[in-house]
Amino acid sequence: MSRPAPYRPGRDARAVFHPPPAPTGAVRLTTREDTPHVVVVGGGIAGLAAATALSERGADVTLIEREESLGGRVRAWPITLPDGSSAQMSRGFHAFFRQYYTLRALLRRVDPELSALTPLEDYPLVRDGGGSDSFAGIPRTPPWNLVEFVRRSPSFTVEGLRGVDIPAALGLLDVDFPQTFSDYDGVSAAQLLDDLRFPEDARHLALEVFARSFFADPREFSAAELLGMFHTYFVGSAEGLLFDVPDDDYDATLWGPLGEHLERNGVTIRRGTEVTAVRGTDGGVRVETATGEPLETDAVVLALDPPALRRIVARLDGVADDTAGLAWRDQVAAIRSAPPFVVWRIWTEEPVHADRPPFLGTSGYGPVDNVSAVHLFEGHAREYARRTGGAVVEVHAYAVPTAADPATHAELKETLRRELARIWPETDGMTVVHEEWLVHDDCVLVGLEPWADRAGVTTPDPRLVLAGDAVRADLPVALMERAAVTGVQAADHLLASFGRTGHGVWSVPTSSRLGPWPGRMRRLLERVTR
């Protein structure tokens, strides 16, 4: 009788499992005799992951979310169009990459086949003045994906490749996380690309695909983070750079069903509730809210965006208030928010051309970073297009410092519309039936500070853990996957402290798929060229 194949979270046979910490029973339960109670603050991906992991191991969980819907920065909410019909709005397009093992495992709790996710056939990028790149048809397994992409891409000409610093380029392959994070302390993504001496088009490609997706100016964005993502999405993983998107709004397809699943499993969810303070008690913790009675609990997961996390930690009372705790509070206070980003979604009377891609990355079109034809993948927008003959188009602009001033929004919107017309000329003169304009500055900026100085999942107080994409992770993960990973890791640390076994997480390989050879070649070339 043959053995069943070992579990793998994706197609990459080299994916790595990271086990949970061993149970210690370090936290004394105060609210129940034998059932730990945990309050999870924040109903985004990190909070949902933590609540799921805790409840599945028998913890009594209360999840508190400030908004009326779950999902955090990936939530959706209803709006009404001028004709009285209903529609959905969100904070914009999100790519669900196949490398997002922990996030996808979370979604499988309610959708085992991930049938609500639709694969996009390509990830096209276009540059002003001509030139475009495509990831369709590129092999998924390194190094052949890199070889074939460079061979096909107009961004990498023979003349341009002659100027590349080969030892520096080998550094893209010579990685070993988490050590690589510290190796690039103080180095920006812009400096890394300067050192590589990539052709200009290839430099823009790297910035648009990786750095700008983090809502950051490359001069302020960590080179180590850029390396980590280059490894995760391209040279370190066999999952490929194409991705899936939900086939309707986030609430209907993802977080609404997951919230119902959690409630069926005994999790109490308090929507529309803001946490105002977290205070230590005799062995436990009290969580105070703007509405209702305080909650007495054994432990707390803070799964918040940077501004909310800084605010709550600054108000902690009787929690993490010893010498180590005060130093940790300084780490949290140092978490930076990225510059504002803009999401502009328009409902039009006229259609865009039928051959437009669902998602298009851009470079050189002013502040525009990408454009989406939402009606090509979200059900509610598809219905609008079918009913009216129009389109639903979304424009993103990341790292726009001037957007912090509302007085600039009219001019910025006009700039986005002008650039959109250059990208998709048929949009010039279209009748806009309705528009939604969002400006937010609550994403994290992973800057040049020492990696080891960033706040991680654990804190000096065993009753308190952190989760979210603003939290340091030892693994090459980011964005939604970092939120999911740190959510599970936060739950696992608490479960261990309660004497229970956690879950563990999967990731792409944490070191070069080519073993030690890139490092050896790099060091040899550096010696020869000195």
Contacts of 507 (CB under 8 A, 6+ apart): 15, 16, 18, 101, 475, 476, 477, 485
According to the model, what pLDDT value does residue 68 have?
96
- Assign domain 16-72+249-335+454-507 to a CATH class: alpha beta
**Local confidence band at 4 (pLDDT 50, 70, 90 cut-offs):** low
According to the model, what pLDDT value does residue 1 have?
46
Question: Is residue 313 within 8 Å of residue 302, measured between CB atoms?
Answer: yes
According to the model, what pLDDT value does residue 529 have?
54
Mean pLDDT throughout 166-194?
89
Q: How far apart are CA 38 and CA 63, in angstroms?
A: 9
Q: Of 74, 114, 116, nearest to 94 (Cα)?
A: 74
Question: Is residue 396 within 8 Å of residue 92, measured between CB atoms?
Answer: yes
**Local confidence band at 198 (pLDDT 50, 70, 90 cut-offs):** confident
According to the model, what pLDDT value does residue 168 have?
79
Between residues 36 and 152, the one the model is more confident about: 36
User: Residue 400 is encoded by which pair of tokens?
Assistant: 């726009």
Between residues 93 and 432, the one the model is more confident about: 432
pTM: 0.94
Mean pLDDT throughout 416-438?
98
**Local confidence band at 378 (pLDDT 50, 70, 90 cut-offs):** very high
**Local confidence band at 499 (pLDDT 50, 70, 90 cut-offs):** very high
- So where are the chain's domains? 16-72+249-335+454-507, 124-241
Between residues 391 and 233, the one the model is more confident about: 391
- Summarised one tens digit per residue, pLDDT across range 223-282 is 999 899 889 988 899 998 889 999 999 999 999 999 999 999 999 999 999 999 999 998
- Summarised one tens digit per residue, pLDDT across range 98-126 is 999 999 999 999 999 999 999 999 888 89
Helix axes 306-314, 323-333, angle to 10 degrees: 150
**Local confidence band at 524 (pLDDT 50, 70, 90 cut-offs):** low
According to the model, what pLDDT value does residue 523 have?
65
On the question of pLDDT at 520 being above 70, the answer is no
Q: Of 363, 394, 361, 362, nearest to 376 (Cα)?
A: 394
Mean pLDDT throughout 325-342?
96
On the question of pLDDT at 530 being above 60, the answer is no
According to the model, what pLDDT value does residue 141 have?
85
Burial class of residue 516 in the structure, from the number of CB atoms within 10 Å of its CB (0-12 exposed, 13-18 middle, 19+ buried): exposed
According to the model, what pLDDT value does residue 519 have?
60
DSSP reduced 3-state for 451: helix
According to the model, what pLDDT value does residue 190 have?
87
According to the model, what pLDDT value does residue 129 have?
81
The one-letter code for the residue type at 316 is: L
According to the model, what pLDDT value does residue 170 have?
79
Q: How far apart are CA 203 and CA 518, in angstroms?
A: 21
Residue with tokens 């194409």: 242
**Local confidence band at 472 (pLDDT 50, 70, 90 cut-offs):** very high
Mean pLDDT throughout 332-358?
96
**Local confidence band at 496 (pLDDT 50, 70, 90 cut-offs):** very high
According to the model, what pLDDT value does residue 5 have?
65
* Residue 150 φ then ψ, to 5°: -60, -40
On the question of pLDDT at 31 being above 70, the answer is no
Q: How far apart are CA 101 and CA 97, in angstroms?
A: 9
Least confidently predicted of 195-199, 275-279, 435-439, 495-499:
195-199
Burial class of residue 215 in the structure, from the number of CB atoms within 10 Å of its CB (0-12 exposed, 13-18 middle, 19+ buried): buried
Beta bridge partners of 3: none
Alpha carbons within 13 angstroms on the beta-carbon side of residue 454 total: 27
